[in-house]
Every structure is written in structure tokens, then in C-alpha cells.
Structure 1
Amino acid sequence: MTFKALDLKHLKIGILGLGYVGLPLAVELGKRFPTLGYDLNRARVAQLRQGYDSSLEVEPEDLQQASQLSYADAPEALTGCDVYVVTVPTPINAHRQPDLRPLQSASLLLGKVIQPGCVVVFESTVYPGATEEVCIPIIEEHSGLKYNQDFYAGYSPERINPGDKEHRLTTIKKVTSGSTPEVARFVDALYGSVITAGTHLASSICVAEAAKVIENTQRDLNIALINELALIFNRLGIDTQEVLEAAGTKWNFLPFRPGLVGGHCIGVDPYYLTHKAQEIGYHPEVILAGRRLNDSMGAYVAGQVIKLMSRRHLLNATTRVLVLGLTFKENCPDLRNTRVVDIVAELEDYRIQCDVHDPWPSAAEAEHEYGIRLIEQPAAAHYDAVILAVAHRQFVELGAERIRAFGKPDAVLYDVKAVLPREAVDARL
């Protein structure tokens, strides 16, 4: 059976996963099409029904404008959709290997509700080939339907940047693809109906998967280079930020900065690509070297702070350090794969007590995910060192003097993000 193009005027769409990726997409589609947003987190669904998004990615007025969007936490509610879009997480496990369980669970669910003629579009970041090698066979097994005969697939990688109010879903060009040329054109038209920035139709699902995974691998490697330069310049007694500012006067110098590399994409996606490379017998040298270097930066920062405290004779049984910021980036509540935890873990290995303050994330989530109890307000003149780990606007507005006030008179102030004046801090990355 050849694909019979679905009528864009009479579609019902189901979104699996209402996180940072799924919710903005569900909202935009829900402005034009009957759309069902499904998430297995009942509290999340209840919250959205009340018109509030705790991720702060979608404003209440935007939720209201999605007049055709409804929510469900029961999987059977997905029955009867024409198009399904999968936006579940694709994390890595403790061994830095792809954890495909959320994707496999979503595929199993789809196998139970999908009907002949449906199109399934995956947005979750994966290695090239994963959609058709992992997901499609699960759907076939549990539905009894035949791929590219009874149902079809597409892949359109997400490009969400949490906390970014300028680059939004509709203003970022969307890569699209499909399992047949006809399906590809349909998927492209569907996204084109809501993406004002336009679309780029890839020749295959595998090409679209590869395009996504190298976007963040490239950024990871660029940051790794700058992090390595920072390690070198620190030994030379040269300020890295001053070097970058000078080099940045050349028109084609890329403006990357050193730092902790976490989050749901940059610190994770390269491992999906290296996993596939090793599976086919190629050992990636450069990508893994960059990952190792970036993963070591939290311990490096902690080590620098310990050295500074040691020189001031601040290390003892009561030494206490304040870490400002826990999220993986500034001005958003996203805690996924934050590498600030590496700083805390390294300090605690030295039996140094750490307090972490961050006004953005859920305190319950911080404790659940990392065992870290956030403090509501740091005490004045209480700490032997203060580490500005995340450049939230609240911290930047405090300024160096008031941040220093959290520390004792001879406390160390370390600026990971280099947002405070150089002369106001003891060291910065």
C-alpha cells in the first residue's frame, strides 16, 4: 500500500512527552490542529491543565492560545491520532552509553495505539540509524503492522535551547525527513505550517539523525579546545578571557568560552555518535578526547579553589564553601546533566562542606536527582570560599562586592563564568 497523504486540514496529532521539546511543539500545533499532549507524569499534566509550565519555556498566554490542545496521562487517550510525534528524553547511562529505554517505551506504547495509515515522527536525539533499527521494529512487533506499508515514519530533530527567549521553536529552521519521498514531503509540509523560519528537507531519516547529533558534537569540541587553552593559560599566568577578547578582534575567530559542559544536548549527544562509531568498528579519537576534557572541568575548578584556600590556610575541619548556581545554564530551571555537581562532589571528597544556592530550579528536583539540598539564602560572612558557577541574572546583579559578603574577610571568590570584573575575583576560568 502506497502512502496516502493525510489532509493537513483534518489531522489529529498526538505528542508523546511534554518536556522542554514536546510542550512548545504541542502548543504551536495546538493552535492549528486538534492536538493531544501525552505525558506519563501526572503532576506535569495536571499543572499544564491549570495553565502553568514549570519549565518556563511556554508562557501562560501561549498555553491559552493553543485552543485545540488537550492533555492526557492515560496512554489509551492517544488512540485515533493520524500523526504521532515522539519527544521523549534520550539520556546516557552511568557508563556513558545511550539509554534508549524512554524511546523504546514510547515505541511500545505506539505499537498498541497506532492504526493503518499513521505517520510517526521522532524528534529525540539519537545516533544515525536508531529510528529504523530500534524504534520501528518495536512498533511493528506490537502493532502487527508493516513499516512503509501500513504505517510510516519521519525524523525531525529538535533544536530547543532552554531559557532562550529569542531562538524559539518557530524561529529556528527545522530539518525534516521521511521514510519515503511522499512521507518526507508530508512531514515537511506539516512542520512548515507552524515553523515560520522554514524547513530543510533531508534526503533520508539517517541523514537527519546524523545532522542533529553532529550539531552538538561540534559545539562540544569547540568548547573542549577553549577549556584546554584555559588550562594552559592558567599555568602560564595569563588570563584566558583577556586572550579570547584579543583573539576575538579577528573577524573569523569563533566566540567560544571555557566552562562546564552539561545539559541535555552538548554533554550527551556526542556519546550517541561515538557509540554508533564503535559499533561499526571505528574508535573516535577527537570526539572522545573532547568529552574527557570537558567532563574533567568540574574537578579542575574544585582543585583550583582548594589550592587558593590552602594558600590562605583556610582548610580545616570546619571549612565551608558556597556554590552559587546548580542548573546547567543561566536563567532557566533545567537541571538535566548539570556539571556543577562535579564541583560539589570533588569538594565533598575533600571533606569540605558545601552549600548550594540557586533560585531557579525546583528544590525537590535537585534533591531527588542529585541529593543536593538547596539553601534558600546564604548567610553573610559565613564561607571560606564562594564559587559563582552559573551566571543567573540574580547573581550578576548582586555584583562582586555583595557576593563577597557571603564569605569571611579572607575568603576566596572564584568566577567560573567570568561575569564579574577580573580585579574583583581571586580567579576565574
Structure 2
Amino acid sequence: MEAKSSHLVFVETRYTNLKTLHYALDAGYRVSYVGSRRYSDSYDGPEFRALQSRLQNLIWVDNSAEREDVRSALATITQQHQIDAVICFFEIAINACAQAADDLHLPFTHAEAVAICRDKLRCRAFLHEQGIPTLPWYELRERGEIYRAVEEIGLPLIVKPRRGAVSKFIDIIENEKDLQLFLVQHAQPSANDTGIDAEVLSHGFLAERYLSGKMYSVELIANGRELRCITVTEKIVWNTSSFVELGAIIPANTSADKFREISSYAINCVAAINLGRGIFHVEVIDTGNEIVLIEINPRIIGGNGRKMIISSYAFNLDQAIIDAYLGNDFGDIPQQPVKTTVGHHIAPLEAGKPAVQKNAALTIDDHVDLYIKIDENASFNAFRSNYDSQGWFINAAEQRSLALEQNRHGLNAIAQHYGIKLIIDTPLV
């Protein structure tokens, strides 16, 4: 079958990753879509509305995180059109999507491997059995077991959901005071939860050894026969709460040897689990003594990572993604970046109502992407996770030092314009 006549079904793509769907339509692929309004209101926006008339099928389901819902939708589509590839980037839905595709013998990332990756406890246990270094862990069936976890792992430790999302419901425990506070807290969905909080909390927690070090992510792509590294990404983390990500830098500032060490470790982890085809986001920490896995996400890097990769490497990432899910051979994936790209959340330090400066328009030159959600008529929360982001600022330059300087300058300009304090932890070098 000719590539451009292939029929692709996107399941719950959402947010900025609609761009890959948009590319597929523009490139001449036949495209169908399965989505749920449970987790997002982005479907009411003009971008998705403009795409609807171009779709072969558009099927709404009650819950895209439920295997039966996704399977029913895919089965309906197969009655009308052959499905050549299923594509899903939304981590809450990806497990159900993999199971449904497996039930119907449709090409997608391997269902059992996705299930392992989506459960941090299972993933740790599996890799440990394969002889791959990973963090010590302890399953928390109830909060009162935290003292047993301390006996097993020691302090400091970190408690996180087994199936987490965007750094929510995470606790770092370093001393007795932290232990007592943890015991009296009760994690529950936020008042404005779209369903993601409830889904995350429904699968339990685990405790892990908390390590200090430099955090990276490795972006991998596979077509079922070949597994390649696209890039290693340097994470910008909040120096007050190191598990809270503020942004990223592509590519990471490492030596060639360190780049190979990090990417090889990530490739070994993914190969051991045998994810098959797809695009994968692997988070690791370099302790100075070894590279240790944080988690494997069987999806593309979140947020605007897609746009940042394209900015830094100037290649057709969308086509590579589609080829991966179709099982096609890859074209050339550049090894050397053309720019350093820096992305940073617009992260309010304090909750409040912004004092919008109306006497002049905000102007920031030379940005890759700028999205500001600040509304003069609405309050906002202090930044504690990506859910509290008020947008993002992404810029790029051929020299890393210039890219970092421009990023700090742009964020400071935003803070000054709106009269608010922002967390700005873009590195100096």
C-alpha cells in the first residue's frame, strides 16, 4: 500500500499534538479520530472544529481511558475502512488504546509493554528482573505503610502515583516531620478536575528512593524493527521542588560520551520491555555515578516538545512519527542540531489576580512559540505542576548561551508586563 493512501486513526491526541494530525491530513493520509470530551475542552476550539470536516470518521466515546469504549469505536471504523495504524499520545488513554488495538489485531504499540510502562511499580519490577539498574521501590497499599517503606528504602524517598501525570500528587519525604504530614494528608481530585486526577488516583501509589542529580529525557522512535534516539533533552526543574518540571532544553548540554551513555541506557530499557512501534519519552537521572530510570512513557514528549525538536533539528518529525506507527522505514534523522531550543512554563510564584499593564502591547522578538493564558479578569494558582502553567515561552538560537539569555529575558518581560512574579529557573550556562 502506498504510504499516502494509508488510513490512520488518532485516539485522543489533544492539545498541541493536534499538529501531527493536521500534518497527516495535509500530507494526504486518510484520517479518522476517536475522542472523549471527558478530559479536555480543547475540542471546542477553532483548530479542531476546522479539522472535523476533513476526517473520514469522527467518533466520540464516553471515556477514552476505557478499553471497551475505544474498542467499540475502532471496531466501528474497521467496518467501513481498513485501519493501517493507530496513533495515541495521551497517557491517560494510551493503555486502553493499546488493549483495544490488540483485541482487534490493529497495528499499535504492544499492549503488554504499554501496561508495564504505565504502571511504575510493574516497570521497576520488570527491569529489575532483566538486570537493568533501577530505583529501589515499595508498594504503598495505604498511607500507614510509609514507615515500612522507610525501613525498606531509607530516607529521603518520594511517593508518587503508580500511573501518574504531569507531576501531580507527589510527595518528597526527608524527615519525621514530612512523615507526619504525609499521614494526615488525603490526596483527592481538584475542584476543577476534568477526570485526569480521578484516573491517576484510582491506581494506587508507590514509594521510591529519592535521588539527586541531573535530569534528562530521551526521545526514542521505533518502527517495530529499528529503535533510534532522536535526541536527549535537558530538563529545567524548579530548584525549590526538583520533581516539578519548569521546562526543557534541546539538545542537552552533555559531552558526546555522556550523550551516548544516556541514550544507550534508555534504548536498553525500551528494548527490554519490547514496546514495538511508536514514539517514546524516557526520563532518567544522572546521579554522577550512574544513569537511573525515572519512567518510560509510551508517547511523545509532552507539551511543546514536538515543536522544540523540530526547531532544534529541522527535520520532519511528524512524518517520522507516522512512519513509526505504520511500521515503515525511517528517513534520515539528523544527528547534529542546528539550534538550541529552550522552553519554559509561565509559572506564577504566587497565586493571585494579574495586574495587566494596558498602556503598551507585550512584544518579544525571535520566539519559536509564545502562548499566554493570563486573563486580566481571572485569578490563577501558584505554579506547583504543569496544570498551573499560564502558558509557555519557547525560543531558539544557534548558540546555547544566547538561547538561555533570550529565554530569561523573555520571561522577565512577561513578568514585568503583567505585574506578576514568575519562577524563572532557566540555567545561566
TM-score by length of 1: 0.33
The structure showing larger relative contact order (alpha-carbon pairs under 8 Å, at least 6 residues apart) is 2
Higher relative strand content: 2
- Under a length normalisation based on structure 2, what TM-score does the superposition of the two structures give? 0.33
| Structure with the higher helix share, 1 or 2 | 1
